[in-house]
Structure 1
Amino acid sequence: MSHDHSPRRPRSHGDGHSPTHPHAHDADEVTRAAADASVADADLSPRELSRRRLLKAAGVTGALTAGVSGMLGVTPAMAEEAGRGRGEGAPRGNGRAVRHWLAGDHHIHTQYSSDGQYTVLDQAQHGAAHGLDWMVITDHGGATHARLGVDLVNPDIRAARAELKDTLIFQGLEWNIPAAEHGTVFVAPGRHEVEVLKQFETDYDGSVRGASGNSPENEALAVAGIQWLGRQKDRRRVEDALFLANHPARNGIDSPHEVRAWRDADPRIAVGWEGAPGHQAAGLPKGYGPGSARGYYGNSAGPNSFPGYPPESYRSWGGFDFYTATVGGLWDSLLAEGKPWSISANSDSHVNWGDTSRRPDGSASERFHADGRYGDPVYAGRVDLTAGDFWPGMYSRTHVGAAERGYTAVMRGIRDGRVWVDHGRLVKNLDVRVVASGRDTGEETLGGTLTARRGSRIELLVTVTAQDVPNWGMFLPRLNRVDLIRGAVDPLHASSDRDRLTAPDTRVVRQTDTSGRTGRFTLRYDLGTLEEPFYVRLRGTDGNRQQPGYLGASVDPAGPAIDVVGDADPWRDLWFYTNPIWVLPSR
């Protein structure tokens, strides 16, 4: 991403309408009709019949026909992969699909970005040294990158894969989303990875296409780009492809209806956003840091911004994006509609705090646009305390539950929502499971959907492995508290307001003091008897900075505090967040 944080263009989001695009807004109705058991197969349209078959193959029709028929896409990979006869990566009961939790970073820049510096191997070696299992190289989309960079970076990525055989290194790019912000797009390695990324960038990048301005046509172009990626997966040009929105609240230009349109365009491709942005070192105070805004979230509303976003949304909260950090906010509004939407945490590394290198002499921007890259960095003879980034894995980590240690397994885990994120290595490991008992038994892990009879007893088990080694700030972090967040699922509201910002029934329902606990310990939460669909998710903190949540103490009594521009030391404010688990009554 560019370090220019000023608004980019006029926008008029006040009408609250999404662009007209076929298949983007009627999907809820299709699922509702498909799940209605009173409608015979012969009375369904071909598309509705196809959706019914997917739901049956996924084994979720019982829940859907019990009054939650609008739950479009709960565990989307389960429905889509089972319906295509390729169910080996779908979420399985009892969490049997999770054999590894693999730490990674999906947002990393190199010398092939106009504001980057490092070689691919520089970033990959540091990421591996800081404990990452996987990472994505995401140089900036644009005319120069589409013309030169996509091709030029690939040999470097393949060389890094050969050098670091235990590290999964994806090729991707940072997409200038038409009519919106930036996003990570990446594909599984293969013969066509360069070809697909290059064509995508040429045809759908907002900068390349001159489609940055806010208009229904440009919003529709973003939707079309996501659907195009889905077709490349279907046609086996690439084995898999994913899109996640980057730093969504930074400028306030990712409106809620755009986010919903991306997700509904193809839930297998558009799967989430950065729950916490990169650039975490930017908040270090002057004297030993840049003295800027943590995450470079130091903006305010302008003509580009969606008018429903409050001034507080332009700041990070405990290092997390406002849309994720606000209990009962935009993220929860999606989850309450039954729409999976994953979070991530990453470095967005361009130039790293405490580094001793610089670009070589003669690496001016004119040279970059002619060559498609900067020269390899050289020793600077000084320590850079003005840069706002950490090396990949040094501070932020996205943990993905995978069936095996492989490229498609990581992508499957992200798609299925088997994800938790942390800062500063706050905890060593998490295992989260919802368990049903009674006439039905079963369990599910993060991202999963547990179905059980009404009246079944539901319990949440959270096994925490406390951190036992110092982090890269050279201290041992201590988990002070774990928060249980619960929300009702009301999918019938999914299409009533595409710019919906809140989930009124979501709140923190339990806070557990974990101070002083070491080793491996399990927290047990009685979730009561199952009557209506709901989801649960978790958040943890070192307890150093907190305040009532944006929607009030009755919703979130002690959430992350809003970060102070110029004085937000990230090492003194650590949190973890998990993706949700859904629980649905089958009858």
Structure 2
Amino acid sequence: MSSRRRFLLLGAAVAGGSLAAAPPVAADISSSLGRLLGRDRYRWLVGDHHTHTQYSYDAMYTVDNVVTGARRYGTDWLVITDHGYPAHEKSSVEPTSADIRAARRAHPDILLWQGIEWNVPGAEHATVFFAPGSSEASLLRTFERTHDSRLTDTGSGSPANEARALSALQWLRSNTHDPIVVVNHPSRNGRVAPHELRAMRDTGLVIGMEGAPGAQADGFPKPNGNGGARGGYVNNPGADSWPNYPAAAYRTHGGFDWMTATLGGVWDSLLAEGKGFWITSNSDSHYNRGSHLVRPAVENGYYDRTGKYPDPVNSGVPQLLAPYADFYPGEFSRTYVGATSRTHAAVSAGLRSGRVWVSHGGLLDGLEVGAYGDGQSAGLGSRLRVRRGSSVTVVIAACLATRPNSSGSIPRLRRLDLIQGPVTGPADPDTASVQGVRVAESFEPNRWWPGHTVLFQHTFRNVRAPFYTRLRGTDGNRHTPGGLDPIPDIIGDSDPFKDLWCYTNPVFVDVW
């Protein structure tokens, strides 16, 4: 069990991404934090890279419905990612583009991309998007027609199809500007093997994976007792699943993917190579719990003929049963990106650099993490280079939640875990675990005042070998007995608001 230390509780909140004036007792740490992170250097913009509209075969909202809902929950940036599908490629791409252009004019305060949920050859799904421009629709349509496994019959797991996926990424590199690819719900069906993650990562275009899937509302208990699971993680191994994944991989753990939630698991094994591979979160919005909108009845084959469903209509009644398994963007899952400006390019740069932390259910209003040593500093996704034998201090400031979430309650942060993992270098492509990952220290607020900032620091002394450090936090409702780790969510009985977590991307420490 790790040691525990109380937070310093500050009478100041995080404002504009920077720590406001602190009492004298914390002045030394506050000063360090200011030097570390650079006051006002980044603005933390909330976004969602995985959403669906009436142009998906299994969704219903208009583009404006999704954007309006996202704005209601404080979303700053958004990617529309309708499914690759024959009718979509034939009939949907250009109309979606027109609707997105209209939404950009109607909602100039939100950064909006047109992307696609790519059916990856030899694997499952991934978000694909690139810089907006006059040719974005035609490029997306060409990519879908040429490289989507539904249209090319390349979905089965095989070395040949895995090679096709890498060829598709090369096409994106050669034909689009500023492309970003994120692996979606990586463990849901066990179809993305560790070697596939590594091969895609090494192209430089696949920046990471969903640390937590969307569809979190699917975990709510259902009146008829036939519940789903957070993220739709109700599956078992199939013919194309990687055979070495355990049964636990097919369930979320505290709402997060098994690859992310397992200490020393797949994500840590990737980070142990010393290469960036970042996590995000999203809504995967198809049908949002509590929405009054319903899809009009249509005859069989309607979508296949048109590539679009009719606009939804207001039923006047909140919809709570299947298929309403999602939340609006920003309502429950929030991906915070450190951006230098409020632009598409700055958000893309923040995502690519790993300046990202993710949170569920409004567990925190703000989070700043940095490390310093030998007069140098580094934030999330960055690298700190120190001499052997030096000390490295990590400074963390967390702004406690001030607003009720969609459950009507203000979340309470119970604990933050500072995690340390070794950097051991290149690994076998199918490595799925790594030894030596540990919770270096856990911190618990001794008091809880909404809107206040809790601040702590931890020093790694006499550093002899490279490592990385990352952070997770929890409301403390569900974890291993006598331990700290999240536990598998229960199918049919996993109210997402009763088990909230947040995670950051790592800071790497290089030693010379």
CA RMSD between the two structures:
1.6
**Letter in structure 2 aligned against 1:226:** L
Structure 1 residues 292-350: Cα deviation after superposition (integer angstroms, max 9, x where no partner): 11111011112221111000110000000000000100000000001211111111010
**Letter in structure 2 aligned against 1:327:** L
Distance 1:218 1:365, change over 3 A: farther
How far does residue 217 in structure 1 lie from its aligned partner after superposition? Answer: 1.1
Of 125, 135, 142, the residue aligned with 1:182 is: 125
Where relative contact order (Cα < 8 A, 6+ residues apart) is larger, the structure is 2
Equivalent residue for 1:308? 244
The alignment partner of 1:391 has SS state of: coil
Equivalent residue for 1:372? 307
Equivalent residue for 1:434? 371
Of 422, 430, 436, the residue aligned with 1:499 is: 430
The alignment partner of 1:169 has SS state of: strand
Equivalent residue for 1:42? none
Equivalent residue for 2:493? 567
- Whether the aligned pair in 1 keeps the contact of 2:445 and 2:454 (CA below 8 Å) is no
The alignment partner of 1:180 has SS state of: coil
Q: Is residue 509 of structure 1 aligned with residue 440 of structure 2? A: yes
- CA distance in structure 2 between the partners assigned to 1:289 and 1:369 by the alignment: 33
Equivalent residue for 2:17? none
- CA distance in structure 2 between the partners assigned to 1:478 and 1:381 by the alignment: 33
The alignment partner of 1:511 has SS state of: strand
- CA distance in structure 1 between the partners assigned to 2:383 and 2:497 by the alignment: 35
Q: Is residue 245 of structure 1 aligned with residue 183 of structure 2? A: yes
Structure 1 residues 31-54: Cα deviation after superposition (integer angstroms, max 9, x where no partner): xxxxxxxxxxxxxxxxxxxxxxxx
**Letter in structure 1 aligned against 2:135:** H
How far does residue 512 in structure 1 lie from its aligned partner after superposition? Answer: 1.1
- Whether the aligned pair in 2 keeps the contact of 1:283 and 1:289 (CA below 8 Å) is no
- CA distance in structure 1 between the partners assigned to 2:152 and 2:355 by the alignment: 35
Moved more, 575-584 or 285-294: 285-294
Q: Is residue 101 of structure 1 aligned with residue 19 of structure 2? A: no
Equivalent residue for 1:335? 271
Q: Is residue 138 of structure 1 aligned with residue 81 of structure 2? A: yes
Structure 1 residues 103-131: Cα deviation after superposition (integer angstroms, max 9, x where no partner): 01111000000001000000000001101
How far does residue 215 in structure 1 lie from its aligned partner after superposition? Answer: 1.5
1:99-138 matches, within 5 Å, as: 99-138=42-81
Structure 1 residues 175-227: Cα deviation after superposition (integer angstroms, max 9, x where no partner): 00001010100111112211221111111111111101111111001011112
- Whether the aligned pair in 2 keeps the contact of 1:108 and 1:139 (CA below 8 Å) is yes
- CA distance in structure 1 between the partners assigned to 2:41 and 2:183 by the alignment: 25
Q: How many residues align?
A: 473
- CA distance in structure 2 between the partners assigned to 1:279 and 1:147 by the alignment: 27
Equivalent residue for 2:282? 346
1:137-286 matches, within 5 Å, as: 137-233=80-176, 238=177, 240-264=178-202, 266-267=203-204, 269-286=205-222
- Whether the aligned pair in 2 keeps the contact of 1:290 and 1:388 (CA below 8 Å) is no
Unpaired runs of 5+ residues, structure 2, are 1-34
How far does residue 383 in structure 1 lie from its aligned partner after superposition? Answer: 2.8
- Whether the aligned pair in 1 keeps the contact of 2:51 and 2:284 (CA below 8 Å) is yes
**Letter in structure 2 aligned against 1:523:** F
The alignment partner of 1:355 has SS state of: coil
How far does residue 381 in structure 1 lie from its aligned partner after superposition? Answer: 4.3
How far does residue 365 in structure 1 lie from its aligned partner after superposition? Answer: 4.8
How far does residue 515 in structure 1 lie from its aligned partner after superposition? Answer: 5.1
- CA distance in structure 1 between the partners assigned to 2:275 and 2:162 by the alignment: 20
Moved more, 96-105 or 119-128: 96-105
Unpaired runs of 5+ residues, structure 1, are 1-92
- CA distance in structure 2 between the partners assigned to 1:161 and 1:576 by the alignment: 30
- CA distance in structure 1 between the partners assigned to 2:469 and 2:102 by the alignment: 42
- CA distance in structure 2 between the partners assigned to 1:133 and 1:182 by the alignment: 24
Equivalent residue for 2:408? 474
How far does residue 516 in structure 1 lie from its aligned partner after superposition? Answer: 2.6
Q: TM-score scaled by structure 2?
A: 0.90
- Whether the aligned pair in 1 keeps the contact of 2:46 and 2:76 (CA below 8 Å) is yes
**Letter in structure 2 aligned against 1:382:** V
Equivalent residue for 1:318? 254
Equivalent residue for 2:354? 417
